[in-house]
């Protein structure tokens, strides 16, 4: 019996990475009934002779979109231009990560197309909220070495809209990946999908998950779940007088106090209110 991680699922075949070698495995019938669907990121035990997955180890995390398990961290990739950076989308993705209890950081791509003043302002906003921000330019190969160490020993998911440069970033990290690169359509105002399936790529004793780009991301959370998952709110909401505080007009709201003290940026709160408006 061998052990490995499911790195790709395509046409019903599970590609299992074991010591750098890929095994194409089916799933034992009884295991499907006992455990359910196998996911990318599952640590499994398989019969090397019959190429059948016999057991699945307990999961530590699970994302619905992209569909992947055992994620240690998320790198949210946002381009500064084409498509333009959006605080609202950034906070939406961060809320999604917090709801799933997965640490998230931000990668700003295409820095060669933006001014330093804009970049520093974005970094200032998120650093105030204790969110790490990395700035990269794949065209100039700037900022790439800075992020390489954060992948060590972890399963890291790259998430972002189509066209923000996830595949370009992967190719800059390791040219052996040779990921197909999409284009940004000015007419459509969005990128074109290139990555079709979630795939784990081995790197630095861990894995980087390349995922299909989003044209949109629906949180599908209640107002209270958003109120308790938004960056900083997810930690500080316990200090509000009411456990179901939505941080709008309730008395003794810890979040509103932090906003008044300048510890939570106004742009963050405006993005939060917009997220609440989406949940009718």
Q: What's the Cα-to-Cα distance from 118 to each of 47, 108, 269, rounded to whole Å?
A: 54, 11, 19
Tell me: do 183 and 229 sit in the same domain. no
Last residue of a domain, one of 210, 234, 253: 210
Tell me: do 83 and 96 sit in the same domain. yes
The answer to whether 171 and 134 have CB atoms below 8 angstroms apart is no
**The domain spanning residue 117 has which CATH number?**
3.40.50.300
Instruction: Calculate mean pLDDT across residues 203-218.
Output: 87
Instruction: Calculate mean pLDDT across residues 23-28.
Output: 94
Tell me: do 127 and 85 sit in the same domain. yes
Within-domain flag for 253: yes
**The domain spanning residue 232 has which CATH number?**
1.10.40.50
Mean pLDDT is highest, among 50-59, 158-167, 183-192, 194-203, for 50-59
Tell me: do 176 and 238 sit in the same domain. no
Q: Domain of residue 121: give its range.
A: 63-210
Tell me: do 51 and 70 sit in the same domain. no
> CA 266 to CA 259: how far, in whole Å?
7
What region does 120 belong to: left with phi over 0, alpha with psi -120 to 50, or beta?
Answer: alpha
Last residue of a domain, one of 210, 234, 267: 210
Instruction: Calculate mean pLDDT across residues 100-129.
Output: 95
Tell me: do 73 and 205 sit in the same domain. yes
Tell me: do 115 and 35 sit in the same domain. no
Contacts 24+ apart (CB under 8 A), 263-266: 263/128, 264/128, 264/129, 264/232, 265/125, 265/128, 265/129
What are the two backbone dihedrals, phi and then psi, of residue 194, each rounded to the nearest 5 degrees?
-120, -55
In this predicted model, what pLDDT tens digit does every residue of 122-146 receive, in sequence order?
Answer: 999 999 999 999 999 998 989 999 9
Tell me: do 68 and 205 sit in the same domain. yes
Instruction: Calculate mean pLDDT across residues 136-159.
Output: 93
> CA 79 to CA 209: how far, in whole Å?
18
Within-domain flag for 215: no
Within-domain flag for 216: no
Residues 6+ apart with CB under 8 A from 87: 122, 125, 267, 268, 271
Threshold 0.85, pTM exceeds: yes
Tell me: do 67 and 14 sit in the same domain. no
Within-domain flag for 271: yes
What does the pLDDT read at residue 278? 86
In this predicted model, what pLDDT tens digit does every residue of 171-208 receive, in sequence order?
Answer: 999 988 876 654 433 333 444 445 578 999 999 999 99
């Amino acid at each position: 019996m061998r052990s490995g991680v499911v790195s790709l699922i395509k046409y019903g075949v599970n590609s299992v990475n074991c010591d750098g070698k890929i095994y194409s495995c089916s799933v034992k019938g009884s295991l499907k009934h006992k455990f359910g669907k196998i996911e990318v990121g599952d640590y499994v035990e398989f019969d090397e002779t019959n190429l059948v997955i016999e057991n699945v180890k307990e999961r530590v995390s699970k994302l619905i979109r992209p569909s992947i398990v055992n994620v240690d961290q998320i790198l949210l990739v946002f381009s500064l231009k084409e498509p333009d950076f959006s605080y609202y989308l950034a906070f939406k993705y961060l809320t999604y990560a917090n709801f799933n209890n997965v640490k998230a950081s931000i990668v700003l791509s295409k820095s060669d197309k933006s001014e330093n003043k804009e970049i520093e302002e974005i970094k200032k906003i998120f650093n105030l909220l204790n969110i790490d921000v990395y700035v990269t330019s794949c065209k100039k190969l700037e900022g790439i070495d800075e992020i390489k160490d954060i992948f060590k020993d972890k399963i890291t998911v790259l998430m972002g809209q189509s066209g923000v440069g996830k595949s370009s970033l992967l190719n800059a990290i390791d040219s052996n990946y040779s990921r197909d690169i999409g284009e940004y359509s000015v007419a459509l105002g969005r990128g074109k999908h290139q990555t079709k399936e979630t795939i784990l790529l081995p790197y630095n004793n861990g894995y980087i998950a390349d995922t299909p780009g989003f044209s949109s991301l629906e949180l599908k959370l209640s107002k209270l779940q958003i109120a308790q998952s938004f960056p900083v709110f997810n930690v500080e909401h316990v200090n509000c007088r009411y456990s179901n505080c939505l941080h709008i007009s309730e008395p003794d709201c810890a979040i509103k106090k932090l906003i008044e003290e300048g510890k939570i940026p106004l742009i963050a709160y405006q993005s939060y209110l917009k997220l609440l408006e989406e949940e009718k």
